[in-house]
Amino acid sequence: MGWKSSILWVWSRMREQLIFFPWHERKEAARMRFDISSPEILHENSIEIMRAGDKYRQAYGAAFEYRLEKFVPELTVPALITAGVSDPLSKCLEELTPSDSVSIETSNTHEEALEKSKGILLKHPAEASPSLQSPIINNGKFTKSIFHSTQGDIKIEKNFDTNNNPLFCLHSAGGSSKTIKFLTESIDKKIDICSIDLPGHGESDKKLIETNCVKTHTDIISQIIEHESFNELMIMAFQTSCASALDAAKNIAVDMKKIILIEPWILGDQEVSDYIDNGIPLIKPDWSGGHLQSYWHMVRDSRLFWPWYNRTISGIIEGTPDLEEKQLDIEVTELIRSEGYWQQTIKDQLTYPTKNCLLEIDYPILILSRESHPLKNTYVEIGKNLKNATYLSLENNPETWGLTVTKCIL
């Protein structure tokens, strides 16, 4: 099943489970009496399925294979098992045998079931809060953690435990650390890497405190550097977030060994204005799920046209397009997850004075892009005119980029 077909399947799946139980049994006996959820709720549920991908089957399989009727009679802790009468699984309560500590009862409504559940939790509070352990990091293998910045919680992925002055990675607006994993995981494991989800993206906080996203990013990077005790580092950024990388290099009191910019968006004033007017649409959930196709076409067209909305002959990107479905799948999902944030992030990064900032930075700057990139001539010119800047071309196949970056670092 292609990705375009799969997002339509996911949306239909979320609707069908409110109409039939089981959702695939489209018979009168399986018909339920539920309102179809609002587009916003269907949207949230669809995103979670998209995030899980095919692995959602594992959770469903575990739930269906586990025999609750065998486990419940052995329970010795206080427990309540309940369901509203409208829940299609409420009839299964009759098959369960309670133990001395277990109460099994139906509830008139879903809300009543929630209130009963809340009641038993309040009646049996935990004796103490669980102690949180720091993640164990195996060098060379990426491990996730959450950093509590003053701007909200930020997800970090790193492949080292001790302070080794790493390559600090920033994904582009609308992405996450997952969208650049094709590169970070292919770089030589001898290179320590710290990759974050920008605020409003991925698994980081969806609550921006500052309206200036570039300033916010610099503040967060500074806090992480201080917390991790990095004395020096290299920074690598993609596309729009190259602006954030340059601002960080300009304003953070740490030695930047090298700045790697991958296909930075260095545009003229008119190009920036045009992109803000046409390239960052507000896409709202639609009852039919059609908005998911809008996201899909945006991502796919960005590989075919420049800018993505210029779907004319003049906008064609030459060369063999990179339309690998797994990567498109990841990018579409992460773009949708950052809704409400990627638009403002892109706007702030595009309006940042990137060209001027390049002139003010003394650190070595390496610009990488594919030969077919529409901004290649701009990159070549910068490489010729700035003493501290170098331009290198990348192969069209992103699977080779890790080797190129590795050679530039080691």
Residues 276 and 355 in one domain: yes
Confidence of residue 211 (pLDDT cuts 50, 70, 90): confident
Out of 122-126, 291-295, 353-357, which region has the weakest mean confidence (pLDDT)?
122-126
Separation CA 131–CA 198 (nearest Å): 27
pTM, full prediction: 0.88
Q: Which of 178, 198, 174 is nearest to 53 (CA)?
A: 178
In a domain, 72, yes or no: yes
* Same domain membership, residue 154 and residue 102: no
202-216, 263-277, 311-325: which range is least confident on average? 202-216
Residues 45, 165: one domain? no
109 and 189 in a single domain? The answer is no
Query: Looking at the structure, do residues 21 and 110 belong to the same domain, yes or no?
Result: yes
Whole-angstrom distance, CA of residue 174 vs CA of residue 331: 8
Rounded Cα distance, 13 and 374, in Å: 40
Mean of per-residue pLDDT scores for the chain: 91
Query: DSSP code of 316?
Result: B
Domain hosting 258: range is: 143-282+340-409
Determine which of 128-137, 165-174, 222-231, 291-300 has the lowest per-residue pLDDT on average.
128-137
Average pLDDT over residues 184-208: 92
The rounded percent of the chain whose pLDDT value lies above 70 is 96
Dihedral class, residue 53 (left if φ above 0, else alpha if ψ from -120 to 50, else beta)? left
User: Is 319 contained in some domain?
Assistant: no
**pLDDT score recorded for residue 98:** 85
pLDDT > 90 in the chain, percent: 69
Tokens 């399986």 belong to residue: 30
pLDDT band at 144 (very low <50, low <70, confident <90, very high): very high
Give the pLDDT confidence score for residue 135 in this predicted structure.
67
CATH number of the domain where residue 211 is located: 3.40.50.1820
93 CB neighbour count, 10 Å cutoff: 15
Q: Is residue 11 part of a domain?
A: yes
Read off the pLDDT of each residue in 120-139 and give the average, rounded to a whole number: 78
- Report d(CA 374, CA 240) in Å as an integer: 15
Number of domains comprising the chain = 2
Whether residue 150 sits in one domain with residue 272: yes
Q: What count of other Cβ atoms lies within 10 Å of the Cβ of residue 231?
A: 9
99 shares its domain with 168: no
Q: Is residue 238 part of a domain?
A: yes
Whether residue 166 is contained in a domain is answered as yes
